[in-house]
Structure 1
């Protein structure tokens, strides 16, 4: 693990110290956890399908019947 020095405001550090005491965990552990969360969410975000906006693929060529099952067709091995 790499040791670093950071400057934070007194109120921010006080909040981390208070939280660490109430959780029974070291302040440094909470700060590492916060940094990891920032890394995952901001530096390496994983895009969920829910975040993509729908796009039009054009007009419908053939209407699907209620008995059509596209899952079987998508899972067929076409190799």
Structure 2
């Protein structure tokens, strides 16, 4: 499909829908994509240096850091149930 045919099809789809929510979603996606394509888009640009550093630290953190095994969970659940 040529670029011109694609544009015509998109225009037709937009012109024939009355779904305002769909139109808003398409607009938001289109604007975000254009913004990202036209510059070094940074979703985190509104974060302070400290917040950004904390977020980067959390992203590098071991995902299993705060997890327990299923056996440990069962033991904890039994303790909790016995207190009821």
TM-score surpassing 0.5? no
Q: Name the one with the larger helix percent.
A: 2
TM-score by length of 1: 0.29
TM-score by length of 2: 0.28
